[in-house]
Structure 1
Amino acid sequence: MARPPGHDRPLYVRTAMSLKSRILAGHYVPGQRLPSEDELAATMRASRSTVRQALSELRDTGYVTSRRGSGSYVADPLPIEALSPQSGPVYTGFLDDLDNEAHHVRERDRVQDTLRADQWLGARLKVPVDSPLVRYRATRLRHGVPYGVATDIVPLSVAERITPEVLAAGPTIVDALTLAQSRVAESLQRLEPGVLDAADAERCGASPGDPALEITGVAYDSTHTPIDAYTLTITAGYGIGLHLTRTTLD
């Protein structure tokens, strides 16, 4: 889980990420006109020049469009599928902040099978219903200690590049995707409470019905193409730390 944008990031990037989180949470919907630069500057406690740079960043990444003489609008469609307003807030961060943590994470007992896309998976991976998919399941470990079960479902066109050699060299499927030239550039996920079923409990050395945290999401490559519909079931006792700061932007 990526941490919130920190002070090591340029001010306009932090402002862009805050605005992006509101878009992905449904506060601003596709096609909606955004408040003026002055209004955004007041709302986000940033200077107008910082807001202008932030909007430029969001235009470059496909989240905002501009109309001469009219202002800035939320892109329609968005590069990635936004969460519904009922999903709660979206906290933004940076994937490269996970690099150090990834060195401590491994998967074991990895298995794979094939399945066909139902309507739910088809919508998330942007493939027709009944398209072939490949599913990977593995026990996830940190410093050698099991903490959850990872399920990754990828389109067949992506899975064909994940050869046995790539799988052997990739500590996780995310690493394997990078080695297969399908590096994850962006992902959007939701967190919900859950319980362990018998199979996941056995993998983690826990008991069926134990509380768990379900992280489900979709990962995209640099072209905004969905390449992985994933679920990470985390067992009780594994903590995720968040460092939160409040900054006056100027």
Structure 2
Amino acid sequence: MRDTTPKKSGRTAVWQSIAGSLRSDIAEGRYRPGDKLPTEAELAARFGVNRHTVRHGLAQLVDEGLVRTRRGAGAFVAATPTDYPIGQRVRFHENLIAAGRRPEKRVLHIERRSASAGEARVLAVAEGAVVCAYHGLSLADDLPIALFESVFPLERLPGLDAALAETHGVTEALARMGISDYTRASTRLMAVRATATEALHLHLREGDPLLRSTGVNIDSAGVPVEYGRTWFAGDRVTLTLDGLT
């Protein structure tokens, strides 16, 4: 933390004044969590100073945890982490609504491909069997919080890829396949670092911390229907485990 003690002369450093003004803007709701702040050039013009002085003020807010900077993207108001329970039934929209957030999913890619050895083992299909891989981005209040990839056995669920493209929701798509309910059989969590691609989608810096969740969902008969991997932005989500064995 920087020393913010006023100088003995009683005068406040200009960069401290800038930090104070922006702190007030955030407190008053002018900028909300997840919002991008004006550029350094715009702030320099607003306060009549050079960009170095603005950068010094922003660095103070970063030290305080009020602001986060992203290389090449700018400065953003730090978001309050979203509570995200992982239990026997993991439902993205329900979880976020319960946390008081507005959920959104953006489909990045839906493809048919061959199952890897690991995917085949988890889904109980032959290695090389055709699966549907569903890639997307999860957002809370317009802020990206996670990237996901869900893999489904198409021999067991023919037409699921088309259903996903039409519904953009796993629960509804599986319901079209006759699966009215599914539960989480297992979950593994691991801390990883963001790759350049992951950082781009999540508006992070390469190497920033992520939480990777790997899970298997089964139908009412205990048959695997989904193998999912999710990469959560580490500072935007608080994962809670509930009812898992």
Alignment of 1:208-227 (within 5 A): 208-227=206-225
The amino acid across from 1:100 in the alignment is E
- 2:95 is aligned to 101
Change (3 A) 1:106 1:155: same
Which structure 1 segments of 5+ residues have no match? 1-90, 245-250
Secondary structure in 2 aligned to 1:157? coil
Residue by residue over 1:76-112, the C-alpha shift from the partner in whole angstroms, topping out at 9 and shown as x without a partner, is xxxxxxxxxxxxxxx9844288773254432114311
Could you tell me which amino acid in structure 1 is paired with residue 134 of structure 2? Answer: Y
Give 1:1-250 correspondences, 5 Å limit: 93-95=87-89, 100-101=94-95, 103=97, 104-158=102-156, 160-162=158-160, 164=162, 166-170=164-168, 172-182=169-179, 183-240=181-238, 242=240
User: In the aligned structure 2, how far is the partner of 1:221 from the partner of 1:115?
Assistant: 22
Instruction: Give the AA of the match of 1:176.
Output: A
| CA apart distance, 1:243 | 8.9
User: Bigger shift: 178-187 or 110-119?
Assistant: 178-187
Return the offset for 1:176.
2.6
Distance 1:139 1:98, change over 3 A: closer
Structure-2 change in CA distance of 1:158 and 1:206 (3 Å): farther
Classify the secondary structure of the residue corresponding to 2:160. coil
Number of equivalent positions: 153
> How much is the aligned-residue C-alpha RMSD, in angstroms?
2.9
Partner amino acid for 2:173? A
Q: Flag the structure with larger Rg.
A: 2
Contact 1:149 1:233 in 2 (8 A): yes
Q: Give the match's secondary structure for 2:166.
A: helix
Secondary structure of the corresponding residue to residue 189 of structure 2 = strand
The residue identity in structure 2 corresponding to 1:189 is T
Q: Aligned to 1:233, what secondary structure does the other structure show? A: strand
Aligned equivalents of 2:86, 2:111: Cα separation in 1: 33
Partner of 1:69: none
The answer to whether the 8 Å contact 2:108/2:137 transfers is yes
SS in 1 for 2:155: helix
- Answer with 120-129 or 178-187: which moved more: 178-187
Alignment partner, residue 52 of structure 1: none
- 1:102/1:163 Cα in 2 relative to 1: closer, same or farther (>3 Å)? farther
Which residue identity does 2:188 align to in structure 1?
R
Name the CA distance, whole Å, in 2 between partners of 1:102 and 1:159.
Answer: 27
User: What percent identity do the matched residue pairs reach?
Assistant: 17
Letter in 2 for 1:134: C
CA distance in 2, matches of 1:114, 1:235: 27
Unaligned stretches of 5+ residues in structure 2: 1-84
User: In structure 2, the residue corresponding to 1:208 is in which secondary structure?
Assistant: coil
Aligned residue for 2:235, secondary structure, equals coil
